A = this chain, B = another copy of it.
Amino acid sequence: MTLQPVNKVVKDGKNLYSTSAQYDKEALLASDMGLKHSRQPAEFFCKTLTASDTSTHGGFSVPRRAAEKIFPPLDFSMQPPAQELVARDLHENAWTFRHIYRGQPKRHLLTTGWSVFVSTKRLFAGDSVLFIRDAKSQLLLGLRRANRQQPALSSSVISSDSMHIGILAAAAHAAANFSPFTIFYNPRASPSEFVVPLAKYYKAMYTQVSLGMRFRMMFETEESGVRRYMGTVTGISDLDPVRWKNSQWRNLQVGWDESTAGERPRRVSIWEIEPVVSPFFICPPPFFRPRFPKQPGMPDDDSDVESAFKRAMPWLGDDFGMRGTPSSIFPGLSLVQWMNMQQSNQFPAAQSGFFPSTVSSNPLHNNLSIDDPSKLLNFQAP
């Protein structure tokens, strides 16, 4: 998660957009059309990072065929052949790498610039990077993190991580001065309970909370699954009446129907719970929900391989990902499935733990997972 003050200026040679929303839309449309026009499929490669790739000791070893397919051709009259590569991530940040062909036997390497990328993105062995060459021969850069335990932004982590101190200090300062700032949030990189989707919050504000109210709340199990627990509101009071008076942060005291000692929190926030409004409520099957579901109104996660593809190949449109119809490009397979097969020769379903399909029979839970189903991945039976 990163924070940035709102002070960037938009300029354009000919157009001045009247609102940022409109600017967004037009910019998207323009790039969309530019790509759609040629209808030339983008090329890409994906590699799971090795220990050597992520170590500070060296650079990134580029698979030979991948380098030759995706990167601009090297000038082999140079000794050794080398060039500068510029690739953009989903946030339009440009990353510059030195691409060199050297060693005995010869191999393609990314050296200078690589370690900055790895440390900035906090990549580790097992994570994957994705290089895409779009129809304009521009390099795009995506990444997907391995499904490892992600420590949340706990205070202990904060104090050991000087970067976060600066970020949080800046945010606190901006908030104290009523200066607007933007949050770039990557829920897969470091899910934070302090970041609440606006829609979720607004929806919660409609809820009338009272003592004795029954609710359900979702928890992740150790096997990356999900289950719900029933509970009752037993009190409403400030978590810290001195420091955070009238804060809604964990101001609900709760009791749980089935409680193992200390396993469930004694205090929750209103936006975490799902009020049980109907006695005829049917609980959906408690398995296979996305580990970090996308929320409407949140910026795209840059670990979302799908988004990178959509950016490079917008003509895929809604066929891509989940819309109930198989992809017209790769019938019966999502691109990521196909990619994974190429990469590991595994049957895609074996990796479904990374991108579980989403199932919800309950319209009440819309805001948790299926508000924007195109952002979730669909694993269809082969």
Contacts and interface: CB of A to CB of B under 8 A. Distances in A.
Interface in A136-181: 136-138, 162-163, 165-166, 169-170, 173, 177, 180
Nearest to A112: B162
Given A10-B20, A84-B163, 10 more contacts: A6-B10, A6-B12, A8-B8, A8-B9, A9-B27, A10-B10, A13-B180, A16-B21, A84-B165, A137-B173
Contacts of A138: 173
Quickly give the copy total for this chain. Answer: 2
A20 B16 contact: yes
Nearest to A180: B13
A23 B11 CA distance: 10
B177 A136 contact: yes
A24 B11 CA distance: 10
A86 interface: yes
A221 to B, nearest CB: 37
A5 interface: yes
A12 B7 CA distance: 9
Contacts of A24: 9
Interface in A91-115: 92, 94, 96, 98, 112
A34 B10 CA distance: 23
B86 A170 contact: yes
A192 interface: no
Contacts of A9: 8, 10, 20, 23-24, 27
Contacts of A14: 180
Interface of A: 5-14, 16, 18-21, 23-24, 27, 34, 83-84, 86, 92, 94, 96, 98, 112, 136-138, 162-163, 165-166, 169-170, 173, 177, 180, 182
A171 to B, nearest CB: 11
B6 A162 contact: no
30 contacts: A5-B92, A6-B10, A6-B12, A7-B27, A8-B8, A9-B10, A9-B20, A9-B27, A10-B10, A10-B20, A11-B180, A11-B182, A12-B20, A14-B180, A16-B18, A16-B19, A16-B20, A18-B19, A84-B165, A84-B166, A84-B169, A86-B169, A86-B170, A94-B166, A96-B163, A96-B166, A136-B173, A136-B177, A137-B173, A138-B173
Nearest to A27: B7
A39 B352 CA distance: 61
Contacts of A11: 6, 20, 180, 182
Q: Which of A6, A18, A136 has the most CB of B within 10 A?
A: A6
Contacts of A94: 166, 170
A159 to B, nearest CB: 10
Contacts of A163: 84, 96
Contacts of A170: 86, 94
A307 to B, nearest CB: 16
Contacts of A12: 6, 20, 180
Contacts of A162: 83-84, 96, 98, 112
A110 to B, nearest CB: 13
A204 B81 CA distance: 43
B165 A83 contact: yes
Contact of A18 (B13, B18, B84): B18
B7 A92 contact: yes
